[in-house]
Chains A and B, each alone.
Chain A
């Protein structure tokens, strides 16, 4: 039937802010209740639209932090002090407000159990957000696929979802603080130590700032990983 191939149009809708949770000094999770949410895949994002009193609008994209199985749709937003939208979302917005959004969007940087693994997730800074959705989804479906997160943050206090991630197979490296664990950037050595060998053909998701993603993806390819098994998402300074 031809009709079945038609795609559902992504329309804007209002999501009630149920709760806000400060994850770090710079990142806040917005717990949302979007009516008529059709569900999402772990790794997808939404578009958020803000409207000023004179009708001026601003739009941005944010990764979904929650698993499809979670009760609410969560976004974790990192505040950029010179940003236009993130200071509002992390400072002004409060429970009871409505937030206009549409989604879910994106179909490549997603993980579903049928894609298999082993699953290597590599995060730089707030790039951990869509990867956390994948970890939660992985647990919610009781997946037997081996999954591991390698997470690069500046300091301990910058680690988003710190307490939660302790319950997953997580390796943290800190780039601006000395501690008993790994320090320094994610390069070939750490990827070789923490990741699966190329022969096991891990499925790799890398998310973070451009320089981070470029460096990690290049190192993975140099180690012999198949470029087609490496999916990337870059976070611009928005």
Chain B
């Protein structure tokens, strides 16, 4: 039980949106940027999206092939571990169900990898059945590099560091290998509704 902070009243929300905001989060109209290093700028002609690891046959798409895949447009709320949430964000991208269609695997985990060396780990079941996308448009525009363009993972039901920017592929694994932030003390799973910010939460 937290003690009262003398003189603090705060800016609580009593509207319908309140139920959409996980514990410890606040809503921002901005789109803050958080990255561990410089924003990569690479030529799109060298871009590919790869599925490798515990698969019978690795898969790879060029940018042209990737953006020709059936796409979906979704409007979702996103929650960053640094406390901001942003409601009703609209993205266009390819569902992971589409990318994993026909992939034969015994893997239970994935490690997403990105330009710049960033990685993040997720259970395979968290990115299938309409829960995750590789998004390349935000708000009807090509995704800005600082927000992860040309393409980023979008897994809105987990804290947003799981939605790897500049994503270049997935490594399917039988074991769960911690990614970049997971190796620095952030929670391995990251459910915002359980406030799983840091290891042990």
The residues of A with any CB-CB pair to B shorter than 8 Å are: 7-10, 12, 14, 47, 49-54, 56-61, 84, 88, 92-93, 97-100, 105-109, 210, 213-214, 217-218, 220-221, 227-228, 230-232, 234, 236-238
Q: Is B88 an interface residue (CB 8 A)?
A: no
Chain A residues within an 8 Å CB radius of B32: 210, 234, 236-237
B3 lies within 8 A of A51 (CB): yes
B9 lies within 8 A of A60 (CB): no
CA A52 – CA B13 in complex, angstroms?
A: 13
The residues of B with any CB-CB pair to A shorter than 8 Å are: 2-12, 23-24, 26, 28, 30, 32-41, 82-84, 116-117, 146, 180-181, 183-185, 197-201
Cβ-closest chain A residue relative to B32: A236
The dominant DSSP class at the B interface is: loop
The dominant DSSP class at the A interface is: mixed
B197 to chain A, nearest CB (A): 8
Chain B residues within an 8 Å CB radius of A105: 185, 198
CA A232 – CA B118 in complex, angstroms?
A: 13
Chain A residues within an 8 Å CB radius of B10: 50, 52, 56-58, 84
Chain B residues within an 8 Å CB radius of A92: 6-8
A51 lies within 8 A of B5 (CB): yes
Residue from the list B33, B35, B82, B117 in contact with A228, Cβ < 8 A: B117
Cβ-closest chain A residue relative to B185: A107
Chain B residues within an 8 Å CB radius of A60: 83
Residue from the list B3, B35, B84, B185 in contact with A7, Cβ < 8 A: B185
A59 lies within 8 A of B199 (CB): no
Chain A residues within an 8 Å CB radius of B26: 58, 84, 238
Chain B residues within an 8 Å CB radius of A100: 2-3, 5
Cβ-closest chain A residue relative to B200: A9
Cβ-closest chain B residue relative to A236: B32
CA A36 – CA B34 in complex, angstroms?
A: 30
A156 to chain B, nearest CB (A): 28
Residue from the list A7, A93, A97, A218 in contact with B38, Cβ < 8 A: A218
Sorted nearest first, the 10 A-B pairs with minimum C-beta distance are A9-B200, A236-B32, A107-B184, A217-B38, A7-B199, A51-B2, A50-B5, A92-B7, A210-B33, A59-B24
A123 to chain B, nearest CB (A): 16
Chain B residues within an 8 Å CB radius of A107: 183-185
B83 lies within 8 A of A61 (CB): yes
